[in-house]
Amino acid sequence: MTTIEFEALDYRADRTFARARYRYDGDERSGWRITRDGTTVLQLGGGYRLLRVRQCGVCSTDLARHHLPFPLPQVIGHEVLAHDADGRRYVVEINASHHARGLGGDCAFCRAGLPTHCPERITLGIHDLPGGFGPWILAPVAACLEVPANVPDAAAVLVEPFAAALHAVATVAPRDGERIAVLGPRRLGMLVIAALAAVRQQRRGGGADFTIAAVARDPALLPLARTFGATEVHALAADATLPSEAFDVVIDTTGSPAGLELAVQLARREVHLKSTHGQPAAGLRYGTELVVDELALLPFPRREPPTGQAPWDRLRTGARPRVAWSAAAAPPAWLAARAEVQRGSAAQLVAHYATATEGLPRADVAVVDSAAGVDAAVRPRGAAEPALVRPRGVVLLHPDSAVAGSALLAAVVGRGLVLSSSRCGDFAAALRMLATDPELARIGERLITHRFPAEQLVDAFATAGARGCIKAIVEHGGLGTTAGP
Ligand SMILES: [Zn+2]
Ligand SMILES: [Zn+2]
């Protein structure tokens, strides 16, 4: 049994920080009790190890934390570089799923290879689990990845957002000759540019090539975007002439509803949504939840698609997909031969799939015909889970959809635009790339513009939200901490 006591700054619903006294009692096998100012706030089962935080990045999700549907107060911060008692360095994947705790057999989502979507997960520094703006964390055992010796601290502390950036690039899968734009490159967007450049570099041996464009309102960001690998740059204020569908793919990292509107206008084949700002956007109430579940929005085909080219083939489920049909029009006759179709309202359908005895208790695909229908497929019972559609599933808009009031829906139905989204990434892949590309491993030198001691978290937050800061990190020194037997 280990006991650790420390002071940390809680983030509160009124967007202020307040000092609190924390105590962790327990061990990796039997679990932990977390108390704040003498009151038990969380009882964790086994599968968590105690680590000391070295550095933690401030990201847009932290700055928007008060909009997210998780309880406050909490010690936040999820871009963590930590170390153990022997000084070994670790980065920590944020989802405390059964799989991450070494209990993967207990859960359909973890068994299906979707541990980052485990419905019973809590999340480091975002949902319940105290994060890296405090000096100690309890990290899921299988979520701790040791940092290779040749990856410096300044790159290691960026692994969480860099892995997410790599995942975005893998999702949009740039094709030869395409123009890929990153909208609003700042702390996350610069990493998406770096990930695009690294993937482009790897593929060039095979002759593959694509354009990487940075599009920003703030022209001061564009020279930096070039150093990360942008091959062309556009300042929005001066360059008001950017034509509609100027790019094949637009990766929206603005974290703003207006950014998504612009991305829809500028993209020909796909908009990739990367941010979780918690606010309604493009006529959708649950846009953030759509990103959290990594869903995609596509048009339902107007005629039967050839084998292998149906919109649900991107799921690679292997079996006939489960299609939840809540559009008013009847399903076309050909669909019954290719999918398991259930008709009903989202509320009826979510109850139906909850009783599934095989696979995930969700539909693979929802077919809807309005923005309200998209919202109902994402969160049929309001802000809380469950979703109607499985994580990484697809929501299809029927050709007869009501699209007034949403440029996004109009583009999906009218010209076949795809909206995809992604959240977390694969830390091991990100670490491998950083360890084998010495130029990429220097990423932190360019991106991290501000460093603060953890005691100055309030200043770090204010600076991270201000123009002129790309990436701020906090560093833990010798805070007053006590450990006992
Ligand atoms: Zn983050
Ligand atoms: Zn699970």
Tens-of-pLDDT digits for all 485 residues of the chain?
A: 999 999 999 999 999 999 999 999 999 999 999 999 999 999 999 999 999 999 999 998 899 899 888 999 999 999 999 999 999 999 999 999 999 999 877 789 999 899 999 989 999 999 999 999 999 999 999 999 999 999 999 999 999 999 999 999 999 999 999 999 999 999 899 999 999 999 998 887 656 689 999 999 989 899 999 999 999 999 987 656 789 999 999 999 998 888 999 999 999 999 999 876 777 788 888 888 899 899 999 999 999 999 889 999 888 776 789 999 999 999 999 999 999 999 999 999 999 999 988 889 999 999 999 999 999 999 998 877 789 999 999 999 999 999 998 999 999 999 999 999 998 899 999 999 999 999 899 999 999 999 999 999 999 999 999 988 999 999 998 543 434 33
The pLDDT assigned to 468 comes to 85
The pLDDT assigned to 245 comes to 96
The pLDDT assigned to 423 comes to 87
The pLDDT assigned to 275 comes to 73
Closest by Cα among 376, 372, 322 to 348: 376
| SS3 label, residue 104 | helix
Q: Which ligand is nearest to the CA of 120?
A: 2
Q: Which ligand is nearest to the CA of 68?
A: 1
| Ligand 2 centroid to residue 223 C-alpha, Å | 43
Q: Which two tokens stand for residue 326?
A: 């809540």
Tell me how far apart the alpha carbons of residues 356 and 363 are, in angstroms, rounded to a whole number: 10
Residue 217 DSSP class: S
| Ligand 1 centroid to residue 339 C-alpha, Å | 37
| Ligand 2 centroid to residue 95 C-alpha, Å | 10
The pLDDT assigned to 206 comes to 59
Q: Which ligand is nearest to the CA of 112?
A: 2
Chain centre distance of CA 64: 14
Asked if residues 367 and 90 have their Cβ atoms less than 8 Å apart, the reply is no
Closest by Cα among 55, 134, 57, 45 to 90: 55
Q: Which ligand is nearest to the CA of 471?
A: 1
The pLDDT assigned to 479 comes to 43
Q: Tell me the sheet residues that pair with 137.
A: 51
Cα 407 to Cα 51, 287, 402, 413, 417: the distances in Å are 46, 14, 11, 10, 11
Tell me how far apart the alpha carbons of residues 452 and 470 are, in angstroms, rounded to a whole number: 14
| Ligand 1 centroid to residue 276 C-alpha, Å | 10
Tell me how far apart the alpha carbons of residues 303 and 29 are, in angstroms, rounded to a whole number: 56
| Ligand 1 centroid to residue 203 C-alpha, Å | 28
The pLDDT assigned to 203 comes to 80
Q: Which two tokens stand for residue 90?
A: 């670790």
Domain coordinates of the chain in residue numbers? 2-150+443-484, 163-421
Closest by Cα among 322, 341, 314 to 173: 314
| Ligand 2 centroid to residue 402 C-alpha, Å | 37
The pLDDT assigned to 359 comes to 85
| Ligand 1 centroid to residue 65 C-alpha, Å | 11
| Ligand 2 centroid to residue 68 C-alpha, Å | 21
Tell me how far apart the alpha carbons of residues 186 and 218 are, in angstroms, rounded to a whole number: 10
| Ligand 1 centroid to residue 58 C-alpha, Å | 7
| Ligand 2 centroid to residue 122 C-alpha, Å | 10
Which amino acid is residue 77, in one-letter code?
G
H/E element, 52? strand 48-58
| Ligand 2 centroid to residue 20 C-alpha, Å | 31
Tell me how far apart the alpha carbons of residues 173 and 272 are, in angstroms, rounded to a whole number: 11
| Ligand 2 centroid to residue 108 C-alpha, Å | 7
| Ligand 2 centroid to residue 111 C-alpha, Å | 8
| Ligand 1 centroid to residue 49 C-alpha, Å | 21
Q: Could you name the CATH architecture of 163-421?
A: 3-Layer(aba) Sandwich (3.40)
Q: Which ligand is nearest to the CA of 113?
A: 2
| Ligand 1 centroid to residue 426 C-alpha, Å | 14
| Ligand 2 centroid to residue 112 C-alpha, Å | 9
CA-angle at 143, arms to 142 and 145, nearest 5°: 95
Q: Which ligand is nearest to the CA of 78?
A: 1
Q: For residue 104, with 0-12 CB atoms within 10 Å meaning exposed, 13-18 middle and 19 or more buried, which class applies?
A: middle
**Greatest C-alpha distance within the chain:** 69
Q: Could you name the CATH architecture of 2-150+443-484?
A: Alpha-Beta Complex (3.90)
| Ligand 2 centroid to residue 118 C-alpha, Å | 4
The pLDDT assigned to 238 comes to 64
Q: Please, what sign has the CA dihedral across residues 370, 375, 376, 378?
A: positive
Asked if residues 211 and 178 have their Cβ atoms less than 8 Å apart, the reply is yes
The pLDDT assigned to 481 comes to 41
Closest by Cα among 332, 406, 326, 410 to 366: 326
Q: Which two tokens stand for residue 104?
A: 């993967």
Q: Which ligand is nearest to the CA of 47?
A: 2
